[in-house]
Amino acid sequence: MEIHVIRHTRLIDGLNKCYGQSDVPVADSFKADAAEIKKLLQPTYDAIFCSPLKRCLMLCEELNFNKINIEPALKEMNFGSWENQSWDDIDRNQLEKWCNDFVNERPPNGENLQDVYKRVTNFITSLKSKNYNKILLITHAGVIRCIHAFFNNIALDKIFNIPVGFNEIFVYNT
């Protein structure tokens, strides 16, 4: 099975917020970004799965995908009490503790990277039991890094070394 994975389009400039699962506005370049993505897509997919967050759903709509499967496992990391806060307003001690071990530490009421990795890889593993040849996932940078780590046996503490740009498409084979 071929798994094509797209990161959503760029977001509005100037966001200095912790916005994991928060809905945030897309950039003014949204339509142009979506048009560029459309040029890179394959003609057909057996199934399309999309994060339920607005920035991904908007891309599905703009790409004129008729039948999509909303998949909660494709959501970005949940930053809990930090969601939608300015990074500068988050308690420095809590933030430092999380930054020193984001694989295992959780923001208050949020997820750690192990949690995200587990839900993403459980979903990817479940896809292997389906009769798909080629699928498309529309999701977020953290999720894409988890998928990349899964397929390439990369340690989770090295996950942020994986570059994932907006509008980028990745292909994995199972």
What is the identity of the amino acid at 170? F
User: Nearest 5 degrees, angle CA 48-CA 165-CA 34?
Assistant: 50
The correct answer on CATH 3.40.50.1240 for the domain covering 2-173 is yes
pTM above 0.85, yes or no: yes
For tokens 């057909």, the residue is 44
Sign, CA dihedral 79-113-166-3, equals negative
Q: Do residues 24 and 17 make contact, with C-beta atoms less than 8 angstroms apart?
A: yes
Domain boundaries, the chain: 2-173
Q: How many residues does the chain have?
A: 174
Q: State how far the Cα of 119 lies from the Cα of 128, in Å rounded to an integer.
A: 15
Q: Within the chain, where are the H helices?
A: 30-40, 54-62, 92-100, 113-128, 141-152
Residue-by-residue pLDDT tens, the chain, 174 positions: 999 999 999 998 767 899 999 999 999 999 999 999 999 897 789 999 999 999 999 999 999 988 999 999 999 999 999 999 999 999 999 999 999 999 999 999 999 999 999 999 999 999 989 999 999 999 999 999 999 999 999 999 999 999 999 999 999 998
Q: Do residues 26 and 10 make contact, with C-beta atoms less than 8 angstroms apart?
A: yes
Q: Do residues 5 and 170 make contact, with C-beta atoms less than 8 angstroms apart?
A: yes
* Three-state secondary-structure class, residue 75: coil
Q: State how far the Cα of 15 lies from the Cα of 152, in Å rounded to an integer.
A: 31
SS3 content of the chain, % helix, strand, coil (to 5): 40, 15, 40
* Sheet of strand 47-50, all strands in order from the earlier edge strand to the far edge: 69-70, 47-50, 134-139, 2-7, 169-173
